[in-house]
Amino acid sequence: MRKESFIQWMEMGTVSIPNALLMNYHKLGLDEEEMMVLIHMHSFIEGGNYFPTPEELSSRMAVSTHHCMQLLRSCIQKGMLKIEEHDDPVQHIHSETYTLRPLWEKLIRALEEDQVERTQQEKQQEEMQIYSIMEKEFGRPLSPIECETMNMWLDQDGHDPAIIISALKEAVLSGKLNFRYIDRILFEWKKNGIQTVEQAKQYGEKFRQQKYKRTPTTDSKQSPSTDFPYYNWLEQS
């Protein structure tokens, strides 16, 4: 008997509810009762009943038929549920079906908005980190003009925060720690299509190697330190 009961339960099938819906239905403006009636609606539709009656829904819930009708009306008004009309021109039959498509569309939009918000928050954190790194490297707070330049790099020029940090490191390697030099590096990188940290690293190493391998001058008074392998970005045309 237990075996037969188990088989019957299995034959009734299962209903898959996205975790994204369970985690975000309150953000969509749904309460627990509305959410439950939509879950049962989903179950009926999955089972082939595309227009369950309030009585059928109420039989699965701990609410009256009248209250179930109110829940359906509320879900329709909130744009979570829709009634579609269908006409069969051959058999001259008019029918109606429920669809949960509006619910899924609202859920997708909510998830996309959350992703945009998280991306913006991450960007703000990265930008704040840049200011901290700059101030630490310069050993002082940035001046208003320097802060304005930073904003220009980020907002107007569209430089990725990681690229700005790479330009800062390049300036440190070149022994020219100032905003004019960093700005020139960013300008050259953008002009030459440098968009990633790895590309910037390879580009800088290439020019430092060229500088290091240059033919020594005959000026005996030249300081040995001038052979340090860096590329003077301010000399780039």
Which residue has tokens 């954190």? 125
Q: Can you give the C-alpha Rg of the chain in angstroms?
A: 33
> Which of 213, 203, 212 minimizes the C-alpha distance to 236?
203
Helix then strand count (H, E) for the chain reads: 10, 2
- Number of C-alpha atoms within 13 angstroms, CB side, residue 31? 4
Of 86, 219, 235, nearest to 174 (Cα)? 235
Q: Measure the CA–CA gap between 115 and 121, rounded to whole angstroms.
A: 10
Taking the chain (237 residues) in runs of 10, the rounded mean pLDDT of each run is 64 83 96 97 95 96 96 97 88 89 96 92 87 92 93 90 91 89 91 86 74 52 41 48
Dihedral of CA 134/136/137/142: which sign?
Answer: positive
Alpha-carbon gap, residue 229 to 211, rounded angstroms:
6
Supply the pLDDT for residue 135.
92
Place of tokens 């998830």: 111
Dig out the tokens for 98 from the structure. Answer: 């429920």
The enclosing H or E element of 232 equals none
pLDDT of the residue at 3: 66
Phi, psi angles (nearest 5°) of residue 26: -70, -30
Distance CA 70, CA 76 (A): 10
Q: Which domains does the chain have, with CATH numbers?
A: 2-106 (1.10.10.10), 142-214+226-235 (1.10.10.630)
Residues 6+ apart with CB under 8 A from 201: 166
Contact 212, 227 (CB under 8 A): yes
Is 93 within 8 Å of 87 (Cβ atoms)?
yes
Give pLDDT, residue 200.
84
Q: Is 216 left (phi over 0), alpha (psi -120 to 50) or beta?
A: beta
Distance of CA 15 to the CA centre of its chain: 29
pLDDT of 229 reads 38
Quick one: pLDDT at residue 180? Answer: 93
Rounded CA-CA distance 85/65 in Å is 23
pTM score, two decimals? 0.62
